């Protein structure tokens, strides 16, 4: 990436500006305040999360630059960190980000069938792809940390455990029909 200008990172249609809302700026200053003087860079991950949540669950180049400026870091450093972690999206995602765990415990319990179900149901061919209507994005992830209830799918911030292709199909149908409110996982 050395030598790349920030404009090369700018996806078509990305918002040109980003600022924390007044409420999020207060939260961000509180987060930074948790760390000793001179250690504000330690707040990078929570501030990236805050920016991503405000920005429709992805980090636009403007959001990355804003967080960098807010913390006094180089934009390249912030982008390097954001691109390292799979929890950060550097491109727009659907309203529902469906993440299918594909590690060994989940695979032994049927994750491959869940992956195939999602790909067929959503008509998404590639990992990280988004449906034409922008409702769903599909991502393969490593260990969601709920192995005891495998197979597991995370949709936005909620975990859905002990899934079968049938229960996943029903869940996807419910999401498509109900709008932005995620149904609570069964416990």
Helix (H, G, I), strand (E, B) or coil at 86: coil
Q: By C-alpha distance, which of 171, 149, 7, 150 is closest to 96?
A: 171
Q: Which CATH number describes the domain made up of 96-178?
A: 3.40.30.10
User: What's residue 154's pLDDT?
Assistant: 93
User: What's residue 98's pLDDT?
Assistant: 94
User: What's residue 83's pLDDT?
Assistant: 94
The Cα–Cα gap between 43 and 136 comes to: 30
User: What's residue 8's pLDDT?
Assistant: 40
What residues does each domain of the chain span?
10-84, 96-178
Top-tier CATH class for 10-84: mainly alpha
Strands in 136-141's sheet, in edge-to-edge order, are: 136-141, 96-101, 153-155, 158-160
Averages of pLDDT over runs of 10 residues in the chain (187 residues) are 37 72 97 94 97 94 96 96 92 92 91 93 86 91 90 92 94 85 63
User: What's residue 129's pLDDT?
Assistant: 86
Provide the token pair at 27.
Answer: 């939260």
């Amino acid at each position: 990436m050395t030598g790349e200008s920030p404009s090369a990172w700018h996806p078509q249609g990305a918002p040109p500006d980003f600022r924390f809302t007044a409420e999020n700026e207060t939260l961000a200053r509180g987060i930074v305040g948790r760390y000793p003087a001179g250690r504000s860079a330690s707040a990078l991950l929570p501030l990236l999360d805050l920016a991503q949540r405000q920005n429709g669950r992805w980090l636009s180049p403007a959001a990355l630059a804003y967080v960098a400026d807010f913390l006094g870091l180089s934009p390249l450093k912030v982008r390097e960190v954001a691109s390292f972690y799979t929890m950060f999206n550097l491109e727009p995602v659907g309203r529902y980000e469906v993440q299918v765990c594909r590690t060994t415990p989940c695979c032994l319990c049927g994750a491959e069938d869940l992956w195939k179900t999602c790909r067929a149901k959503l008509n998404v061919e590639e990992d990280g792809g988004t449906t034409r209507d922008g409702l769903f994005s599909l991502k393969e992830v490593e260990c969601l940390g709920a192995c005891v209830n495998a197979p597991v799918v995370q949709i936005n911030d909620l975990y859905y455990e002990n899934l079968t292709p049938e229960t996943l199909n029903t869940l996807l149908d419910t999401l498509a029909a109900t709008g932005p409110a995620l149904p609570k996982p069964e416990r």
